[in-house]
Structure 1
């Protein structure tokens, strides 16, 4: 019984570890996605800085086209920032989910362990009861054996007594 419980605990920890590895992989993929988006944002910001320093107009002034290009890059940076925030929220939600999952698994393991301990205690109590009954049965069996031997000896003695009483009369 103990080996069975040990096997169940080992297998449950193995499967929990496998699920945890999948969760960690998903978490790392999400982090890498956000880091890639941050790198893209940095590159776009570099383009924005570069566009601010460009003056293609006559006498070194900025043209409307230069300003529009800078605004388009800035709009693209804002869209990237929004995407980063959305993905960061997903990452935080995932982290919260992982924490809740770990807490639920902890409660589940605790309840399973309590159930196993309860079962073990119940089986130990039942085993002690069966051992006491076995000892009681052995004692009563010995008593009945002694009574049976004594009764058998008494019957044989009575039979011999009767046989001796009857035997001398025949002779």
Structure 2
């Protein structure tokens, strides 16, 4: 019985690890996505720096187009920042979910382990009771066997005694 419970526990741990690997993969993919977005933001910021230093106007002045290009790049940076914040929130929500899931699994495993221990203790008590009952049965069986042999011997002795008393004496 202990081996069956142990094998069930091992299999449940195996499946839990398989699901945890999927969760880790999803978390890793989300982190990679955010890192890619951060790199894109960094390159856009470099473009913004370059656009600030560009002066295509007469006598080296900035034109409206230069300023508009800088503002467009800055708008793209802001959109990227918003996307990064949204994805970071998703990542944090996912991390919170994972922590809650780990806590829940811990409670489940603790509950299952307690249930297994209670079952094992119950089975051990039942086994001890059955062993005790079996010993008592064997003792009572021996007693009844001895009584049966003694009674059989007494009946045979009585029958012989009666047979000798009833049968004519040959003297």
Between the aligned partners of 2:118 and 2:6, the Cα distance in structure 1 is: 15
Between the aligned partners of 1:88 and 1:163, the Cα distance in structure 2 is: 109
Within a 5 Å distance, the mapping from 1:107-126 to structure 2 comes to 107-126=107-126
Aligned residues: 171
1:167 matched residue in structure 2: 167
Structure 1, residues 87-118: CA drift from partner, whole Å, max 9, x if none? Answer: 00000000000000000000000000000000
2:88 matched residue in structure 1: 88
Between the aligned partners of 2:42 and 2:168, the Cα distance in structure 1 is: 131
Between the aligned partners of 2:97 and 2:11, the Cα distance in structure 1 is: 23
Q: Deviation of residue 131 (structure 1)?
A: 0.7
Structure 1, residues 92-147: CA drift from partner, whole Å, max 9, x if none? Answer: 00000000000000000000000000000000000011111111111111110111
Between the aligned partners of 2:96 and 2:54, the Cα distance in structure 1 is: 46
The 4+ residue runs of structure 1 with deviation greater than 2 A are 168-171
Unaligned runs of 5+ in 2: none
1:135 matched residue in structure 2: 135
Between the aligned partners of 2:168 and 2:100, the Cα distance in structure 1 is: 100
- TM-score by structure 2 length? 0.98
- TM-score by structure 1 length? 0.98
Structure 1, residues 14-34: CA drift from partner, whole Å, max 9, x if none? Answer: 100000000000000000000
Q: Deviation of residue 170 (structure 1)?
A: 7.5
Q: Deviation of residue 37 (structure 1)?
A: 0.1
2:24 matched residue in structure 1: 24
